[in-house]
Amino acid sequence: MSFVIPQNDFVPILIPILIFLARAADVSMAAVRIIFVSRGIRALAAIIGFFEMLVWLIGISQIMQNLNNPISYIAFAGGFSMGTFVGITIERKIAIGNLAVQFITNKNPASLLRYFRSKGYGATTIDGQGTAGPVKIVFVIVRRKLLDNVLGIIKKFDQGAFYTIEDVRGVARLNPVI
């Protein structure tokens, strides 16, 4: 099967555009596939990998057939950059998985914990010792899609709270309301 495009006046312009689009598509798929692999979603990662390689082969075959067109090289590199951007954007939109949000505050978190629980979030707190004295450390496990909501709640409670966010590979029990 050959993906040779017939020669005409548009080929010097059309080939780089097709290469750019193919590369942007395959790198976007690669970014999403890697996320699925890291989340343990094997079947979907494999399907995406198949199409990723198919698109890559089409793109690279056009590069190899048009070695005398240096704009194709720029299109290939530009497609890689665009694909990275698009892949990360797609990953943020689908927001698969859970996150652990830990934040440190010197305020009493009792009212915040009640609020979290009333909204269906589970939260755990422990005492800690910070550089300026005693602090409370609060842990919340949330679905990725709800991160902005949780961060908004934390910032309303304590504008100066220090927080970290980590990916969670697995959760034994997650509050179903979330």
Which pLDDT tens digit goes with each residue over 60-69? Answer: 998 898 888 8
Residue 3 pLDDT > 70? no
How many whole angstroms separate alpha carbon 168 and alpha carbon 143?
A: 10
- The percentage of the chain sitting over the pLDDT mark of 70, rounded to a whole number, equals 90
Q: What is the distance between the alpha carbons of residues 108 and 92, in angstroms, rounded to a whole number? A: 33
Provide the pLDDT for residue 56.
Answer: 94
- The model's pLDDT over 90-106, given as tens digits with 9 standing for 90+, comes to 988 888 888 999 999 99
Mean pLDDT for 16-35 is 95
Q: What residues contact residue 144 under an 8 Å CB cut-off, 6+ apart?
A: 95, 96, 97, 98, 99
Identify the band that residue 171 occupies on the pLDDT scale cut at 50, 70 and 90: confident
Domain 98-168 has CATH 3.40.50.300: no
pLDDT of 21 over the 80 cut: yes
Task: Give which of 3, 125, 133, 126 is closest to 55, Cα–Cα.
Answer: 3
pLDDT winner (highest mean) among 11-20, 21-30, 58-67, 113-122: 21-30
Mean pLDDT in residue range 143-157: 91
Position 6 scores a pLDDT of: 59
**Cα 171 from Cα 129, distance rounded (Å):** 28
Buried/exposed code over 131-162 (b: 16+ C-beta within 10 A; e: otherwise): eeeebbbbebbbbbebbeebbebbeebbeebe
Q: Which two tokens stand for residue 101?
A: 């949000």
Going from N- to C-terminal start, the domains of the chain cover 11-94, 98-168
Comparing 68 with 25, the larger pLDDT belongs to 25
* Rounded Cα–Cα distance for residues 156 and 169 (Å): 28
Half-sphere exposure of 176 (CA within 13 A, CB side): 0
Q: Helix, strand or coil for residue 22?
A: helix
Task: Output the pTM of the full model.
Answer: 0.68
pLDDT confidence of residue 7: 60
